[in-house]
Amino acid sequence: MTLPASPMGSVTAIDQRLYKASLPPITVEHTDLVSLTPKSVANLVATLSSGTRLGVAATYGEKSVLDALAFSTETRVLLITMNATSWKVAKRQKLILMNKILCNVSLEKHGFFMERLAAALYLDLGLYIRNAFDITSDGDTRGSMAAYKNVLGRARVDTLYVSAVEHIFTEQPFILSRKTEFALRAWASYVAVQALPDKPGVIDTSVPVKDPQACSAYHP
């Protein structure tokens, strides 16, 4: 279902496909980086009913360059796409992204392979991330479908659709026709961390470093 268009981009409503459960629809706002506004971020944060944890997902294109980024609450996803052009001209929007979300320490950012995202933000956009956590940094075998299934299976008592996990977490560049699947990946990250205890594996890349590889380090 398509909702009334926003000046920042398209706004649609989707249903979750991961659990055998009746859950509220998820509003997905899709915008290019050059069109990102503080209102887009405010609309997302306003749906945090409790806590400060956001789910995060990213996709990578040719040469593992970051091409899409998504942040999720229980009922809303902010999906941001980007390319080489938007990296160069979206100076103000990059500051919005960094100050309002990435380096906003009042928000926790949780996702899979967060160290890869931290490195890509630095290398591709010259941005940093603070208060970010990798969901599987202290448990399951990272990168395997079994890890995704185990984490998501523990997150809710509802039956998990295993085939949906495999479909949604298949690694590939951002494709518009798979926008729903990518949004659900961020939503799944949100769901996965709500019942987890506080974690020490924080990624903080707010301090400029000479070695870009340092962006992928954990700082306990």
Domain boundaries defined on the chain: 10-216
Q: Minimal CA–CA distance to 5: which of 25, 30, 39, 22?
A: 30
Average pLDDT over residues 173-189: 91
Higher-confidence position of 202 and 127: 127
Give the CATH H-level superfamily of domain 10-216: Ribonuclease H-like superfamily/Ribonuclease H (3.30.420.10)
Task: Quote the crossing angle between the two packed helices 179-193 and 145-155, to the nearest 10°.
Answer: 60
Read off the pLDDT band of 206 (50, 70, 90).
low
Return the pLDDT at 182.
94
pLDDT for 93 beyond 90: yes
Q: Minimal CA–CA distance to 34: which of 96, 95, 121, 93?
A: 93
Tens digit of each residue's pLDDT (9 = 90 or more) over 129-151: 999 988 875 455 666 788 888 88
Q: What percent of the chain has pLDDT above 70? A: 82
- Half-sphere exposure at residue 161, Cβ-oriented, CA atoms within 13 angstroms: 12
d(CA 34, CA 93): 6
Contact call for residues 200 and 87 (beta carbons, < 8 A): no
Query: Helix (H, G, I), strand (E, B), or coil: what is residue 196?
Result: coil
Return the pLDDT at 213.
43
pTM of the predicted protein model: 0.85
Q: What value does the mean pLDDT of the chain take?
A: 83
Tens digit of each residue's pLDDT (9 = 90 or more) over 16-69: 999 999 999 999 999 999 999 999 999 999 999 878 999 999 999 988 899 999
Return the pLDDT at 187.
95
Q: What one-character DSSP code corresponds to residue 178?
A: G
d(CA 6, CA 65): 28
CA distances from 176 to 38, 67, 109, 148, 181 (A): 24, 12, 24, 23, 10
109 forms bridges with which residues in the sheet? 54, 132
Tens digit of each residue's pLDDT (9 = 90 or more) over 56-70: 999 999 888 999 999
